C-alpha cells in the first residue's frame, strides 16, 4: 500500500481503473499465449504470468481498500 499512500482520492480511483484494465489485458494475453497448443512454453513463462496476475490483484485490493476510506 505504500506505493499508493501519497495519491489523492481521485488519483486512487483513476489508478484503480487503470489496474483493472491492466488485469483484463494480462488475462487476455495469458489466455491467448497459453491456449496455443502448437507452442511450447517454459514453466518460467507460466510462473511469470501467475506472478504478474497476483501482483496486479494485490494492487487492486489495496486500491479498493484505500478508495473505500
Q: What is the band of 1 on the pLDDT scale with cuts at 50, 70, 90?
A: low
* Backbone phi, psi, residue 8, to 5°: -75, 170
Percent of the chain with pLDDT over 70: 97
Residue 55 vs residues 5, 36, 37, 44, 48: alpha-carbon distances, Å: 17, 24, 27, 16, 11
Instruction: Convert the pLDDT of each residue in 30-52 to its tens digit.
Output: 898 888 877 777 889 889 989 99
pLDDT higher than threshold 90 for residue 14: yes
Give the start-to-end residue ranges of the domains of the chain. 2-68
Amino acid at each position: 500500500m505504500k506505493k499508493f499512500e501519497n495519491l489523492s482520492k481521485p488519483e486512487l480511483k483513476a489508478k484503480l481503473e487503470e489496474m483493472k484494465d491492466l488485469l483484463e489485458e494480462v488475462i487476455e494475453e495469458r489466455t491467448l499465449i497459453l491456449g496455443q497448443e502448437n507452442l511450447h512454453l517454459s514453466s518460467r513463462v507460466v510462473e511469470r504470468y501467475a506472478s504478474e496476475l497476483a501482483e496486479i490483484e494485490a494492487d487492486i485490493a489495496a486500491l479498493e481498500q484505500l478508495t473505500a476510506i
